[in-house]
Chains A and B, each alone.
Chain A
Amino acid sequence: MFVHIFTTRLKCLLRDRGTIFWTMMFPIVLALLFNATLRNIDARAEGFQPVSIAVINDAAYAEDTPFQKALEAASTGDDRIFSLTLVTREEAESLLEAGTVSGYYAAGDPISVTAGSSGFEASLMKTFADSYTQTRYAANDILEKDPRSYEKLAAAVSEQTDYLRDAAVSDAEPDSSYSYFYSLLAMACLYAGFWGLREVEDIQADLSDRAARVNIAPVKKGKAFFSSMAASFVISMSEILLLFAFLRFALAIDFGVRTGLVLLTTLVGCLIGLSGGAFIGAVVKGSENLKTGVMLGLTMTGCVFAGMMYQEIKMLIEKNAPFVKWINPVNLLSDAYYSIYYLPTLERFWLDIAVLGAFIAVFRAGTYFTVRRRRYANL
C-alpha cells in the first residue's frame, strides 16, 4: 500500500506545475537576481575612485598646518581618498556648481564642509573633518597638560596606530554577501511548506472531496498520510538539493568544506518546511488561499527578519529583539549555514539545529493531533 500511494503521489505532485514553480524555479530565479545585484555592488566597491574636493586656500588654511598635513596624507599614495585642489572661495563654488568637485573645505574652528549632495562623497568629507577635529582637540588637551610630549604625540598621530587587529576566526574568507544566499536557501526550505499544506488538504475529509474518498477507503489514515508525506519529502528535498547545487557550482557560493553538515542543515530545513506547511494546513481554519497566504506571509516575514532583503534588519533585530532570531526558522537555517562556512567550532550550529528540531517536533505534534481525527463534526 505504501508503494502504491507513494508512487502515485510522486507522479501527482511532480505534475503540479504551480507548486513546482514556486518551490524550485522561483528560488533559482531569485538566486540569479541576487547574484547579479551583489556582483554589481562588489564591482563598484573594487573600483573605488578618490573623491575630487577643493580646499579654500585662504589665511586660515595657511595657518592651520596640521589640517594641511592631514589633507596631504589623505590625498597622496595608492590608498588616497581625496583628489585635492587649492582654490579661492569663488573658484570652489563654481567648481562645485559645475560638478568638477564633490565639495570643498574651509579651514577654521570648526572646519566648514560644503558638499554638493548628501551621498557617499559628502559622508566621506564630513567623517574626515569630524575625525580630524576630534584628534586635534585631543592633541591640544594633551599638550596643555604635558607640553614635553609634543614629539611623541606628533609621531603617534602621524602613524595612526590601529589598536584593533584583524584575527581570522577560520580559514574561510568572511563574505557578507553569502548571508543573502544562505537566507535564500533557508527560504526555499520553508517553501517546502507548500507541499505540506497540500498533503493535509488531501488527507482531511473536511478539507477536500479527494480526502473524503481516501478516508472512506480501507486504509489507515496515518499510513496514507505518511506515504504521501514521504513523496512530498522526496520532491522537496530534491528541489532544495538542486538549488544548493546551483548555488554551489553555478554561482560559486562557498558553503565551506563541511558538506555533510550542509546536507544535514538542508535536511532539517526541508523537514521544518514540510512540517510547518502541514501544521498551518491542519490548524488554520479557512480556505486553501487563506492558508497559503498565512504560510507565505510568515515565511517572507522570516526572510525579511533574517536579512534576506537587507542585512541591516538582521542586525537591528539582534540588537533590539534578540529573542526573535530564535523563533525565526529562516534565521536559524541561514545562521546554521553561515556557522558551517565560517566558524571553526560548531556550538552555534548545533544550537541552531536543536532549536529547529524543537520546531519540527512542535509542528509534527500539532499536525498529528489534528489529522488523527477520523470522524468530523462538519464536512
Chain B
Amino acid sequence: MVITVKDLVKRYGELVALDHFNLSVEKGEILGLLGPNGSGKTTALNCVLSLLTYNSGEIRVFDRPMAPDAYDIKRDIGVITQNVAVFNELTVWENTRYFCGLYITDKTKLKKLTEEAIDFVGLNDYRNFYPKKLSGGLLRRLNIACGIAHRPKLIILDEPTVAVDPQSRNNILEGIKRLNEEGATVVYTSHYMEEVEQICTRIVIMDRGRVIANGTKEELKSMISLGEKITIESGDVTDEQVGGLKTIPGVSAVSYDGHELVIRSVRDQNNLEAVLDYLRKKKINYGRIYSEMPTLNDVFLELTGTELRD
C-alpha cells in the first residue's frame, strides 16, 4: 500500500473535520478524492503529509509510519497545493530548481530534472518569466512543475485546476495521466466530478469528514437506483401525456416545466426508443433530445441528499 489511513479523527474545537476517516491507496492507481468544499479532503491530505496534528488514528505511507521527520518517506512524495505556492521574485526556472533542490542535491541531476519538469508542463517558452507575468493557468502549471520536478513516487494534487482555463485544465489532466503511466501513484482531490471521472481509476467520495462511497466510477454508479435521464425539448405536452409516459416500463419519474420534458429511468433500463414511440404515437412535437447516464453528482445526491457542488 502506498497510503493507509485508519480511523483518523481530526477536530477543530467542536467541529469534527475527519470522523474515523479510512483510506487506502494502492501502488499505480489514480485515486480521486471527491467531495464538496469543506468535506475534509484537504484536511485529510494535510494529516497524511504530517502538516496537521490529529486527535486519533494511524497513518502509514509506503508501509511506514508517517511523521514530520520521516525524511525518507517525504523524499518520494510530491505535493501540488491548492493555492499556488511559488516565490514571486524567482523566475519559472528558478522556482522549479529551488523546490526540486530541496529533494535533489546532485547539481547535474537537479538541472536535468528541472529542465524535464518545465518541459513536462509546457512552460519552456516562459522559463525566464516571473510568476506575476503568468496567466492563472500557466501559474498552475508552474505550481505543478515545482511539485513533481524531483520525480516522486507518490503525487498528491489538491484541487490543481481551480480557476484554470480549459486549455490549461486539459494540459494538467493529461499531465497527471502521463505521470501515472510513468509509474507514479496519484491522489487527486477535486469537487469537479467530470475531472475525477475522466482520469481516476478509483474514486472515494467524502462528506462531512467521512468516506461515504469507494470504488470505480462504474461501481459507484451501480450503487444507486437511478439510470438513464432523457431530456426532450417540447412545448405542447399535457398532464395526461405526462401520466402516459410514467406508465412506460422502467420509467421511474417524469417531469415537465412547459419547455422540457425530463424522463428518468431505473438502473440498467434503456427507455429512449419506447419514449420516442410514445411521442410519435401521441403526435407530440419535439425538438432536441438528450440522453445522459447517471453522473457522480447523482451518486452523491442519492447518498447524501445534497448536490456535490453545494
Contact = CB atoms under 8 A, between A and B. Distances in A.
B248 interface: no
B255 interface: no
A4 B101 CA distance: 7
Contacts of A218: 71-72, 74-75, 102-103
A12 interface: yes
Contacts of A375: 50-53, 68
Contact of B81 (A212, A224, A378): A212
Main secondary structure of the interface of B (DSSP, over half): loop
A266 to B, nearest CB: 26
Interface string A7-34: 0100111011000000000000000000
Interface string A195-220: 00000000001001110111111111
Given A8-B101, A13-B89, A16-B89, A213 B50 contact: no
Interface residues of A, number: 29
A33 B90 CA distance: 35
A377 interface: yes
A109 to B, nearest CB: 77
Contacts of A15: 89-90
A69 interface: no
B87 A215 contact: no
Give the interface size class of chain B.
20 to 34
A379 interface: yes
B99 A217 contact: yes
Contacts of B46: 379
Contacts of B53: 375-377
Given A210-B87, A212-B51, A8 B75 contact: no
Contacts of A215: 51, 68
Given A218-B102, A374-B50, A377-B53, A213 B87 contact: no
A252 interface: no
Contacts of A379: 46, 51-52
Interface in A348-379: 374-379
B290 interface: no
A1 interface: yes
Contacts of A12: 87, 89-90
Nearest to A208: B85
A217 B51 contact: no
A166 to B, nearest CB: 55
Given A218-B72, A219-B102, A374-B69, A213 B52 contact: no
A205 B68 CA distance: 12
Nearest to B73: A218
A8 B94 contact: yes
A9 B94 CA distance: 11
Contacts of B62: none
Contacts of B49: 216
A10 to B, nearest CB: 11
Interface in B34-74: 46, 49-53, 68-69, 71-72, 74
B185 to A, nearest CB: 16
Nearest to B147: A213
B99 A213 contact: yes
Contacts of B50: 374-375
Contacts of B102: 1, 4-5, 214, 217-219, 224
A8 B98 contact: yes
B110 to A, nearest CB: 8
A216 B146 contact: no
A129 to B, nearest CB: 66
B68 A374 contact: yes
Nearest to B47: A375
Interface in B258-282: none
Nearest to A374: B68
A226 B94 CA distance: 21
B137 to A, nearest CB: 18
A11 B51 CA distance: 28
Interface in B12-31: 12
A216 B148 CA distance: 13
Contacts of B69: 220, 374
Contacts of B72: 218
B79 A216 contact: yes
Nearest to A377: B53
A368 B112 CA distance: 36
A205 B77 CA distance: 17
Interface string A300-330: 0000000000000000000000000000000
B146 A213 contact: yes
B83 interface: yes
Nearest to A17: B89
Given A12-B90, A216-B49, A378-B12, A209 B103 contact: no
B105 interface: yes
A272 B12 CA distance: 36
A216 B49 CA distance: 7
Interface in B119-157: 146-147
The 6 closest A-B pairs by CB, nearest first: A209-B85, A374-B68, A218-B71, A217-B102, A15-B89, A218-B74
10 contacts: A16-B89, A208-B85, A209-B81, A213-B81, A216-B77, A217-B74, A218-B71, A375-B50, A377-B52, A379-B51
